[in-house]
Amino acid sequence: VKYELYYWPHIQGRGEFVRLALEEGAADYVDVARLPESEGGGRAAVARLLEDAADGRTPFAPPVLKAGTFLISQTANILQYLGPRLKLVPKDEATRLWAHGLQLTLTDLVVEAHDTHHPIAKSLYYEDQKPEALRRAADFRALRLPKFLGYFERVLAGNPGGDRHLVGKSLTYIDLSMFQVIAGLSYAFPRAMEAMSRKHPKLAVLHRRVQERPRIAAYLASSRRIPFNDRGVFRHYPELDEA
Ligand SMILES: N[C@@H](CCC(=O)N[C@@H](CS)C(=O)NCC(=O)O)C(=O)O
């Protein structure tokens, strides 16, 4: 096996961005924590990886990708590594830096989506920060979501390689990540996102096209795709969506 992904086995979470790249790239990989515990899987596999490593290079948080002797953390960093190897980003440096910048912007959006249900503390239950979550989510829907999606719609419209992709002339890991963000936001905020996709038609088309790619469609239909649930980054609490 060429790649080992270490990520929580019960959620899509941030690991999903890596899973999608590995799937589209037809990579030889194992989603380690999804193996039975008797085969070294389960949450314990992730926990073990986050124990202090002998070489002092312990990752802070999953997802983590093991590739040969490399242990790579941070979603955008993992994708920057996998991109050229899975032919999911153009080779030239300028384009790769642009792509990485876009991925980091998606990372920021993911944090803000998370903070709608956990605006005060990760360590508290949603139920213990609900008034703050309601305020944060209202602001997210009214201002942040349109700002981020408007930005990505403009990037798509202005891509010199054409508006079928965010970067270059063919599919990149940025398109895959954008698909996942739209899928997650649509799960979390179905009503707000309905209006949003009407306002951002090019993103809506990109989302659909990625979903229909043969390898992605096969992956989404498989048991490897964990359903969205109320433990991941994207959670559906109806009261946080538009009235
Ligand atoms: N910026 C990192 C964030 C990683 C992250 O927050 N991982 C979550 C799971 S999705 C976690 O376990 N965090 C533990 C913590 O923040 O204490 C990335 O994009 O990979």
What DSSP state is assigned to residue 199? Answer: H
Residue (of 125, 3, 152) closest to 63 by Cα position: 3
Task: Write 215-224 long-range contacts (CB < 8 A, 24+).
Answer: 215/23, 215/24, 215/26, 216/20, 216/23, 216/24, 216/176, 216/179, 219/19, 219/20, 219/23, 224/19, 224/23, 224/31, 224/34
> How many angstroms separate the CA atoms of 175 and 166, rounded?
6
Q: Report yes or no: 14 and 75 within 8 Å, Cβ to Cβ.
A: yes
Q: Report yes or no: 207 and 179 within 8 Å, Cβ to Cβ.
A: yes
pLDDT computed for residue 1 by the predictor: 87
User: ∠ CA 206-207-211 to the nearest 5 degrees?
Assistant: 115
pLDDT computed for residue 58 by the predictor: 95
Q: Which ligand 1 atom is at minimum distance from the Cα of 107?
A: 19
Pocket of ligand 1 (CB under 6 A): 13-14, 61-63, 74-75, 107
Q: Which ligand 1 atom is at minimum distance from the Cα of 15?
A: 10
pLDDT computed for residue 227 by the predictor: 98
Residue (of 105, 115, 120) closest to 138 by Cα position: 115
Nearest CA residue ID for atom 6, ligand 1: 61
Q: Which residues pair with 4 in a beta bridge?
A: 30, 66
When pLDDT is averaged across residues 131-146 and rounded to a whole number, the result is 98
pLDDT computed for residue 54 by the predictor: 85
Q: Report yes or no: 231 and 12 within 8 Å, Cβ to Cβ.
A: no
Residue 186 has pLDDT above 90, yes or no: yes
What would the pLDDT profile of 76-117 be if each residue is shown by its tens digit? 999 999 999 999 999 999 999 999 999 999 999 999 999 999
> How many angstroms separate the CA atoms of 170 and 127, rounded?
43
- The identity of residue 64, as a single letter, is V
* Mutate-to-test residue for ligand 1 from 7, 11, 60, highest number of ligand atoms within 8 A of CB: 60
When pLDDT is averaged across residues 147-176 and rounded to a whole number, the result is 98
- What percentage of the chain carries pLDDT values higher than 90? 98
- Structure confidence at residue 127 as a pLDDT band (50, 70, 90): very high
How, if at all, do strands 29-31 and 3-6 pair?
parallel
Nearest CA residue ID for atom 5, ligand 1: 61
What would the pLDDT profile of 42-70 be if each residue is shown by its tens digit? 999 999 999 988 899 999 999 999 999 99
- Structure confidence at residue 189 as a pLDDT band (50, 70, 90): very high
64 CA distance to ligand 1 middle (Å): 10
Q: Which ligand 1 atom is at minimum distance from the Cα of 63?
A: 20
pLDDT computed for residue 193 by the predictor: 98
pLDDT computed for residue 53 by the predictor: 87
Nearest CA residue ID for atom 11, ligand 1: 61
